[in-house]
Amino acid sequence: MNTQSISSSVQKHGPLADVQGLLFGSTMAAAGMVILTHLGLVTGQTAGLAVLLSYLTGYGFGAVFFVVNLPFYWLAFRRMGWLFTLKTFVAVGLLSVISSFLPDYFQLGTVHPVVGAILFGMMSGAGLLALFRHGASLGGVGILALYLQDKTGFRAGYTQLLFDVGVFTLAFFVIETPLVLYSLLGALVVNLTIAVNHRKDWYVAT
């Protein structure tokens, strides 16, 4: 089947497909965060900042993550439109709520940090892929990076990289060094999962 025939048969996601996509993506990401915080690890982007703040303040990750994302919705509306912003708000809200209650029903025992970091990366990567494919995200720095790229020309990838460098640098002052290294493994798996699988020519529904 050639590209022209594929594009002519593309169907848009309906409301029911979007609902299940947002639920699946948010739940997978929340489960990944439960594993991450159970091990005392961190990650990159806004979620990583929220994790560090939760460790420092004692507040739950879900509540901190929801609050940290609030400043970014106006930028999301300006850059991506109201539908993307609404879906992202819902996804962030779902992740915040699910990650707060999931530990009561998803209790973990001994998990080796390497295994936990890899599972976190795979689960979070799968969750993010589902959200991307249904026109949503988990908010945060990615939106700011795109906005700054539009306004100043500074590459979005550089903004995200600099933010992650800051998060992981701060992590060295909050958690033990071996945990930071395990955390870097988890972040690598997340990014590889997305980089390898997030291709429009492999997934043509919109």
- The CA distance from 12 to 9, in Å, is 10
Q: Is residue 31 part of a domain?
A: yes
- Residue 138 is part of which domain span? 15-197
3-state helix, strand, coil split of the chain in percent (to 5) is: 75, 0, 25
Q: Does 9 fall in a domain? A: no
pTM for the model stands at 0.83
Q: For every one of its 206 residues, what pLDDT tens digit does the chain have, with 9 covering 90 and above?
A: 444 444 445 567 677 888 889 999 999 999 999 999 999 999 989 999 999 999 999 999 999 999 999 988 888 888 788 998 999 999 999 999 999 999 999 889 899 999 999 999 999 989 988 988 888 888 888 788 777 777 787 876 678 889 999 999 999 999 999 999 999 999 999 888 887 776 655 554 45
- Total domains in the chain come to 1
Q: Is residue 2 part of a domain?
A: no
State how far the Cα of 18 lies from the Cα of 71, in Å rounded to an integer.
Answer: 25
Nearest to 131 by CA among 5, 19, 12, 11: 19
